[in-house]
């Protein structure tokens, strides 16, 4: 079935990834329970650079009992790396901020259609029950083998509706398989958490015993990207998806619940959440990087599964960062923060915002790269603005200079060690929401704090003690000619020579590399002085720095 549209579905997106060299197709048998996610995980923990990471399409999927599935599984199709994400967004990195800004300020309402690819096959009633039927027919991977208690839906657009306003919400929540016709869904209850949980509370307050729900797997990328973005309350994400696409998103009425679902989705699981009882769910490896232990969450009674005839099951790889789920926010959140600081708050000295990714669930640590000579007041406004922008982001915010690579933790530690005075360049701010983390207490009842650090230079310092770029590049060519191990330059790998540095010292350094150090000795000999203490500084003038 086809309807008019101006955006790619998942199949077309995978074809585009294949053409761009960003998709690996694995045809050998892969166990979804023990092998699939660990195999993809190696590209994040195996020392592989992010530009070499790809989406994995598994065409021969089996489970721990050796059962073979008819559906393929794709992992990493939305954000295996930033290039994959940008392919899905259909824009360049420098246009991401503008695209999201326009989509949220000018959403485009969806178009309701009568026939949809996502309903080419409909499974209802008794066909949902029993081994190999219903949910048990779907090759849902185990995300963290050895810890997770069930295959779990991860790459989800979970759709619920406000029973008062009728506004729908798309959220990305995990859902553990419990039976062929039953799931348990986890929606965050913390402040600033799941929009779906607010709908759940409203249904409870009304005395409703159940809440309609639809879980979408494999939505078109422009639709999939809106679910994890935590957009403002009561902003219908499907309109924002239309804004990203620049055209209405096709939606169709679900078969058994009063909800609109993306017409080009791969699979839709329809049903009702029980608002009166909860069921244990977990353990599960969560995106904050720890195992979420068993807890009571929302049982879902499945009333229908609809899918395309050629459906592909989509799965996120998340857990310890870097991961696919962290890359989705990495590419979109950084320009969003920069836009907020520079345009909303008017802090022009912010050059770049980096959300530290490795092992920190992405959003907890924010690095601000500040322009040289930015006033101290503006540095602190930037730190405070970044930490307060989102409740779940910026627990630790660090301001650094332009010569510090915000992606190099060693460079950041160096700046903290030599450019920050803990007595004057550090602030702790109380009363912060704990955000998404491994805490075992009820999240809504806890408080955290914020740490702000100014690790910028407070005075002009001499250059970094590394060779200049031309000498490192010259030696790098020799390294390669010798067939030595492949180089992966780690910033900083050369010194730009900025800071407290005089042209006279440049000239002396040039003479030294030309083998003329004796000329430098003749210059310094003429500048001998008496009555000085060793280590007294000396700054030559133009007349004193030339050989005679």
Report pLDDT digits (tens) over 142-161.
Answer: 988 999 899 999 999 999 99
Domain count, the chain: 3
Is residue 308 a part of any domain in this protein? yes
The pLDDT of residue 271: 98
Write out 243-290 in H/E/C secondary structure. Answer: HHHCCCCEEEECCCCCCEEECCCCEEEEEEEECCCCEEECCEECCCCC
**Measured between alpha carbons, how far apart are the two ends of the chain, in Å?**
87
Beta pairing partners, 182: 179, 301
Q: Is the dihedral of CA 134, 137, 138, 141 positive or negative?
A: positive
Consecutive 10-residue averages of pLDDT for the chain (548 residues): 85 97 94 92 82 92 94 93 91 86 91 96 97 96 90 94 95 92 89 82 96 97 88 87 95 98 98 95 80 90 98 86 70 81 92 80 84 93 92 88 88 92 94 64 66 92 85 91 86 83 92 92 92 90 64
Domain boundary pick from 406, 423, 454: 454
Domain boundary pick from 454, 477, 503: 454
Is residue 462 a part of any domain in this protein? no
**Same domain as 527, residue 444:** no
Three-point CA angle 56, 5, 79, nearest 5°: 25
**Same domain as 41, residue 131:** yes
The pLDDT of residue 195: 87
Is residue 339 a part of any domain in this protein? no
**Same domain as 495, residue 355:** no
**Exposure pattern of 289-300 as b/e (b: 16+ CB <10 Å)?**
bebbeeeebbbb
**Same domain as 379, residue 283:** no
**Same domain as 439, residue 384:** yes
**Same domain as 204, residue 304:** yes
The pLDDT of residue 343: 87
The pLDDT of residue 521: 92
Q: Assess contact for 444 and 187: CB atoms under 8 A.
A: no
Is residue 48 a part of any domain in this protein? yes
Residue 367's domain spans which residues? 345-454
Is residue 320 a part of any domain in this protein? no
Return the CA Rg of the chain: 28
**Same domain as 230, residue 152:** yes
Dist CA 352 CA 408 (whole Å):
14
**Same domain as 75, residue 170:** yes
* pTM more than 0.85: no
Tens-place pLDDT, residues 370-387 = 998 899 999 999 999 999
Is residue 98 a part of any domain in this protein? yes
3-state secondary structure of 34: coil
**Same domain as 272, residue 161:** yes
Q: Chain centroid to CA 108: how far?
A: 25
**Same domain as 141, residue 211:** yes
DSSP, residue by residue, 157-208: EEEEE-TTT--EEEE--EEEEEETTEEEEE---STT--HHHHHHHHHHHHT-
**Same domain as 122, residue 88:** yes
Domain boundary pick from 296, 315, 334: 315
The pLDDT of residue 233: 81
Token couple for 499: 């800071």
**Same domain as 280, residue 429:** no
């Amino acid at each position: 079935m086809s309807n008019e549209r101006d955006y790619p579905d998942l199949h077309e997106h995978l074809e585009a990834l294949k053409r761009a060299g960003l998709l690996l197709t694995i045809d050998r048998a892969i166990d979804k329970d023990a092998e699939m996610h660990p195999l993809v995980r190696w590209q994040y923990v195996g020392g592989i650079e992010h530009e070499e990471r790809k989406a994995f399409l598994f065409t021969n999927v089996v489970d721990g009992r050796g059962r073979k599935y008819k559906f393929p599984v794709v992992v990493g199709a939305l954000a295996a790396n930033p290039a994959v994400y940008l392919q899905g967004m259909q824009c360049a990195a420098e246009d991401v901020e503008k695209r999201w800004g326009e989509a949220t300020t000018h959403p485009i309402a969806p178009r309701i259609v009568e026939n949809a690819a996502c309903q080419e096959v409909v499974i209802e009633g008794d066909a949902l029950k029993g081994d190999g039927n219903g949910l048990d027919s779907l090759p849902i991977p185990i995300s963290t083998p050895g810890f997770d208690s069930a295959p779990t839906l991860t790459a989800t657009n979970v759709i619920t509706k406000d029973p008062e306003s009728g506004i729908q919400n798309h959220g990305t929540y995990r859902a553990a398989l419990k039976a062929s016709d039953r799931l348990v869904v986890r929606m965050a209850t913390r402040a600033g958490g799941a929009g779906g949980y607010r709908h759940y509370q409203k249904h409870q307050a009304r005395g409703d015993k159940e809440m309609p729900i639809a879980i979408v797997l494999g939505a078109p990328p422009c639709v999939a990207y809106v679910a994890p973005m935590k957009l403002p309350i009561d902003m219908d994400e499907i309109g924002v998806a239309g804004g990203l696409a620049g055209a209405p998103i096709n939606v169709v009425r679900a078969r058994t619940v009063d909800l609109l679902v993306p017409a080009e989705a791969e699979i839709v699981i329809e049903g009702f959440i029980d608002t009166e009882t909860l069921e244990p769910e977990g353990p599960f490896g969560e995106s904050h990087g720890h195992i979420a232990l068993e807890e009571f969450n929302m049982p879902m009674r499945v009333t229908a599964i609809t899918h395309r005839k050629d459906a592909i099951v989509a799965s996120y790889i998340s857990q310890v960062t870097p991961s696919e789920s962290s890359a989705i926010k990495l590419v979109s959140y950084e320009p969003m923060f920069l836009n907020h600081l520079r345009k909303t708050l008017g802090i022009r000295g912010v050059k770049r915002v980096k959300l530290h990714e490795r092992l920190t669930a992405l959003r907890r640590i924010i690095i601000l790269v500040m322009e040289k000579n930015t006033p101290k007041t503006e540095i602190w406004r930037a730190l405070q603005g970044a930490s307060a922008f989102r409740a779940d982001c910026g627990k630790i915010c660090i301001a650094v200079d332009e010569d510090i690579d915000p992606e190099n933790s060693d460079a950041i530690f160096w700046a903290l060690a030599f450019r920050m005075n803990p007595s004057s360049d550090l602030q702790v701010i109380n009363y912060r929401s704990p955000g998404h983390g491994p805490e075992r207490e009820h999240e809504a009842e806890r408080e955290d704090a914020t740490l702000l650090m100014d690790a910028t230079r407070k005075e002009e310092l001499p250059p970094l003690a590394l060779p200049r770029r031309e000498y490192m590049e010259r030696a790098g060519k020799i390294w390669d000619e010798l067939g030595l191990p492949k180089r992966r330059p780690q910033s900083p790998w050369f010194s730009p020579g900025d800071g407290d540095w005089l042209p006279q010292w440049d000239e002396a350094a040039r003479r030294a590399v030309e083998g003329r150090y004796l000329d430098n000795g003749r210059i310094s000999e003429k500048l001998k002085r008496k009555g000085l203490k060793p280590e007294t500084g000396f700054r030559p003038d133009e007349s004193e720095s030339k050989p005679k």
